[in-house]
Chain A
Amino acid sequence: MSDTHAQTVAYVRESMTEQREPPLSETGVYKWIHGNMLSTPLNVFLTLVSLWVIWTVLSHVLPWAVFGIWDAASLTECRAIRDELYGADGSVACWAVISERWQQLLFGFYPPEGYWRPVLAFVLFLAAIAPILFSSLPRKLLWLTLAAPFVMFWLIWGGTIWGPICIALGFVLGWAAIHYSGPRIGTLAAVILAIVLPLIYWLVIAGPLAQALSTVLPIGLNPVASREMGGFMLALIIGISGIVLSLPLGIVLALGRQSDLFLINKVSVIFIEVIRGVPLIVWLFTASLLLNYFLPPGTNFDLMLRVIIMVTLFSSAYIAEVVRGGLAALAKGQYEAADALGLDYWKSMRLVVLPQALKISIPGIVNTFIGLFKDTTLVVFIGLLDPIGLSNTIRASTDWNGIYWELFVFIGLCFFIFCFSMGRYSLFLEKTLRREHR
C-alpha cells in the first residue's frame, strides 16, 4: 500500500485502509430480499408459496376489476358491451351497477334532495365525539357533544325542530332538579325527583308543548320515515345509536356486576350472560317477531326502532364487559383514595373511578362498535334494507338480475375502509394510553 508502512513492524497497520463498498450480498435490494425472504430453505419455500398466492389472486381479480364496464343501463347491456370489447368468454366486472345505484347503497331510499342531511349529521357526529376521543381539545366542546344527538336526530328524521328541543328540556329539568334541590332535600330525594320530574314532563307536557311551539313558530325539515332509510346509512344509524344508547346501561350493568348487593349483582350477571350467550340474529328475530307480544296491546312502532332497542340491549351487555375490564384495570389505590376522601359510592364513582375507567375502556368500546357495525348486516334477515339487503333488491330488478360480485366487492370495500380506519384509531388510542400509564 502506501510507504508509511515501511518504517514499522510489518504486522502493525498504521493507517486506515480505504473504505470499500460493502459486498453486494450485504447491501441494498439484494440483502433485503435475501435477509427478508430467502434466508433459509423454509423461508424460500414460504416466499414461493406467498408469491404463488399473490399471483393467483391478482391475475384473476385485477383484469376483471380494471377492465370493468362503467357505463351501461342493465346487465344485458353490460354483456353486450363486453362481447363487443373482449369476446363472449371475457370475464370483466360490470361496475355500471355501482355507478347507477351507489346512492341507494349508501342512503337507501332517502329522498335525494335531502342527502345533505345524513351527511351533515355524520359530520356532526364526528365533531361531537372528537372532544371525547382527543383529550387535547377544549372541554367546552363537550356541550356540543351533549347537544349533538338531538340535532342529529332532527337532521335525519326531520320534522319540527321543537320535538327534539322539548325532549332535551326534560334532561335539563332533571339536571336542574339535582343541582338546585340536592342541597336542600338530600341526594337521594333529589335523584328520585330528577327521575320522576322529567318522566312526568315527557309523558304529559312535552308532546303538547312541542305541538304548540311548532304551530307558533314552524321551523322544521321535511320528515322522513325510517323505512326510507337503508344502505350504509342504516348500518351507521343502528350501529351508532346502538353504541351511544347502550353506554349508560352498560356502565350501570358493569357497576351492578361489581356491586356487593346480592340481588343487583345477580341480576346484572344474568342479564349480561343471557344477552351474550344468544346470537344477535336470534335477538333480531325476537325484535321483529316477538317484541310486539311483550308490549301493551296496541303499541306498535316501526321495525327500525325495535331493532335499535334490541341492539342497544345487546351491545349494553358487551359494553358492560368492556367497562368492567376498565374498572378492574384501575389501580385499587384509586378506590381506596376515593374512600379515604370520604366520598360516598356515587361521588367516588362519578369523580374518581369512572372517568379513569372509561378512558381506559375507550379502545374496547371502539372495538365493540366495529363489531356491532359489522353485525348490522344481519338485519337483512328481518327485512331491513342494509347494504346486503339492498344488493338483493337491486338484483331483483329486471335490469340487474344476475349480478353478484360487483355489489359484494363494493359493499365489502366500504365496510373495510370504515372498520379498518376505526381499528387503526383504536390501536393508536391504546398506544397513547399505554404511554400515559407508564
Chain B
Amino acid sequence: MKNTVLLGALTVAGLAAGAAGAATLDDVKARGTLNCGVSTGLTGFSAPDANGVWQGFDVAVCRAVAAAVLGDPMAVNFVPTTGQTRFTALASGEIDILARNTTWTFSRDVDLKFEFTGVNYYDGQGFMVPKALGVSSAKELDGATVCIQTGTTTELNLADFFRVNNISYEPVPIETNAEAQQQYLASACDVYTTDASGLAATRASFEAPSDHIILPEIISKEPLGPLVRHGDSEWGDVVRWSFNALVAAEEYGVTSANIEELASSPGDNPEINRLLGTEGELGAMLGLDADFAKKAIMANGNYGEIFEKTIGEKTPIGLSRGLNAQWTEGGLMYSPPFR
C-alpha cells in the first residue's frame, strides 16, 4: 500500500533530474541549476562549511561555470562523489561536470570516454615523512610502510616508482585522507604519499607542521582538472572557456575589484574587452550571454584570487603558486587567446 512514497519520489526525481541527453547545456539551462560532482571532503578543494555551503578550489570552478551559464554562482547542486563512484556519476548523467581533483590521464580521456576541459591545478605525487626519520630522499625508503589513498592513480604511481627503483615497501591502503592522516601521525606508517597539494594541506593541519618534511621527489605528473562527458563538445567548450576566462582574467589584471569598472567603461585593451563581452560576439558563439566570462569571474574572482582564497599562502593550507603561476611568471597557467 505504501508504495506511494516511492512513486511520488519517482515523479519528483523525474522532474528534478532530466534525461542525460546530448545537449547538456540546454538541460542545465532548463533545469536552472548545475549538477556538479565534487569530493566528499578534501581540505581546501571542496568541503561544506558550518552553514552547509560548499567551499574550496574545485567548488569555485563549478560556481564559475554556473555563473557563466545561469548567471547565478549559487545555482549549483553539489553531488559528493567518492573515488569509486565519480566516473559512473558523470557517465550516467547524474552530474554535468566533475570537479574532483581528478588526474587527466590517457585512459580516462580515451578509454573511459571523458573529456578533460583543462587543468585547474598542476600537481604531482610526493612523499611526506617525519623529520625524525632522517630521510632526505624517497630512494632511501627501502622497507618503509607507506600510507596511500585507494581508488586513485596514486597507488599505481607508487607501485611503479618502487618497482623501477627496485626497493621494497609495504603499502597501507586507506579510504579517506582523514584516516590516512591519523595513521601517519601515530606513525603507523613511515611515509604518507598523495598529491603534493594534499600533503601540504595535511601538513598544515598538524599540531607541529615543522616536524614533517615533504621529500623533493615528485614521482608523477598529476594534472587535475574538471571533466565532462565525451561526445558533447558544446558543453565541453562552455566549461573549458569559463575556466579559461578565470585564467585569462588574472593574466590581464581583471580582478573582482575592478571588473565592474572595466566592463562599464571599456578600455583600449581589445583582449579584455572581448573577454568581458564589451566587444565581439564570443558569448553568443557558445550559446551564452555576451558577458558570460564577466559573470564567471565575478563569482569568485579570477584564478589567482580563487587560489589565494582557498589554498594559497595566506590560508592554513599555504600552497605556493609554483607550477600554477601564470605563464608570464614562470608557471604553466596559460589561457588560449579570447578572439
Q: Which residues of A contact B (CB under 8 A)?
A: 75, 79, 100-101, 104, 108-109, 112, 146, 149-150, 152-153, 157, 159, 163-164, 167-168, 170-171, 202, 206-207, 223, 225-228, 241, 244-245, 247-248, 285, 288-289, 292, 298-303, 305, 308-309, 312, 381-385, 389, 392-398, 401-402, 404
Contacts and interface: CB of A to CB of B under 8 A. Distances in A.
Given A171-B1, A396-B177, A100 B16 contact: no
Given A298-B19, A300-B18, A398-B205, 14 more contacts: A109-B48, A150-B8, A207-B11, A227-B78, A292-B88, A305-B9, A392-B41, A392-B176, A393-B48, A393-B80, A396-B39, A397-B47, A401-B205, A402-B182
Contact of B8 (A167, A227, A299): A167
Contacts of B154: none
Nearest to B207: A79
B92 interface: yes
Contacts of A301: 9-10, 13-14, 16-17
Nearest to A393: B41
A292 B176 CA distance: 26
Contacts of B19: 298-300
B85 A382 contact: yes
Interface of B: 1-14, 16-21, 39-44, 46-52, 55, 77-82, 84-85, 88-89, 92-94, 176-178, 181-182, 201-202, 204-207, 315-317
Contact of B206 (A164, A206, A309, A402): A402
Nearest to A290: B88
Contacts of B81: 383
A393 B50 contact: no
B184 to A, nearest CB: 11
Contact of A397 (B17, B49, B202): B49
A298 B17 CA distance: 10
B17 A383 contact: no
Contacts of B3: 245, 248
A157 B9 contact: yes
28 contacts: A75-B205, A101-B50, A112-B51, A152-B5, A170-B4, A206-B11, A225-B16, A227-B79, A241-B6, A245-B5, A248-B1, A292-B88, A292-B92, A300-B20, A300-B92, A309-B6, A312-B6, A383-B81, A383-B85, A389-B40, A393-B40, A395-B41, A396-B39, A396-B42, A397-B43, A397-B47, A401-B201, A402-B206
A75 B77 CA distance: 29
Contacts of A292: 88, 92, 94
A149 B5 CA distance: 6
Contact of A402 (B7, B42, B80, B181): B181
B22 to A, nearest CB: 10
A401 B89 CA distance: 27
A392 B40 contact: yes
A299 B17 CA distance: 9
B149 to A, nearest CB: 12
Given A248-B1, A398-B44, A308 B82 contact: no
Contacts, number: 172
A128 to B, nearest CB: 10
Given A245-B5, A381-B82, A396-B43, A289 B205 contact: no
Most buried by A among B8, B44, B79: B8
A383 B7 contact: no
A382 B20 CA distance: 20
Given A149-B2, A383-B82, A397-B48, A402 B205 contact: yes
A327 to B, nearest CB: 20
A303 B79 CA distance: 9
Question: Shortest 7 CB-CB distances between A and B: which pairs?
Answer: A396-B41, A301-B13, A109-B52, A401-B205, A393-B41, A396-B47, A298-B19
Contact of A164 (B4, B44, B176): B4
Contacts of B93: 300
A164 B93 CA distance: 27
Contacts of B88: 288-289, 292
A167 to B, nearest CB: 5
Given A385-B80, A402-B205, A300 B17 contact: yes
B178 A392 contact: yes
A305 B10 contact: yes
Q: Which of A163, A247, A382 has the most CB of B within 10 A?
A: A382
A424 B223 CA distance: 55
Given A305-B13, A397-B43, A164 B8 contact: yes
Contacts of B10: 301, 305
Given A227-B77, A302-B16, A247 B2 contact: yes
A228 B11 CA distance: 18
A349 to B, nearest CB: 15
A301 B14 CA distance: 6
A75 B43 CA distance: 14
A68 to B, nearest CB: 18
B20 A298 contact: yes
Contacts of B7: 167, 170, 202
Contact of B5 (A100, A241, A398, A401): A241
Given A149-B5, A396-B178, A398-B317, A382 B82 contact: yes
B216 to A, nearest CB: 25
B74 to A, nearest CB: 13
Contacts of A223: 12
A163 B4 contact: no
Contacts of B317: 398
B20 A146 contact: no
Contact of B178 (A109, A149, A308, A395): A395
Nearest to A107: B52
Contacts of B21: 298
Query: Max chain A CB contacts within 10 Å: which of B16, B81, B204?
Result: B16
Contact of A383 (B1, B52, B80, B92): B80
A202 B82 CA distance: 36
A249 B6 CA distance: 13
Nearest to A402: B205
Contacts of A228: 52
Contacts of B6: 241, 245, 308-309, 312
A153 B5 contact: yes
Nearest to B311: A398
Contacts of A149: 2, 4-5
A100 B50 contact: yes
A303 B94 contact: yes
A376 B92 CA distance: 24
Nearest to A73: B50
A244 B8 CA distance: 15
A300 B92 CA distance: 7
A146 B1 contact: yes
Contacts of B41: 392-397
B12 A163 contact: yes
Given A157-B12, A288-B88, A300-B92, A168 B2 contact: no
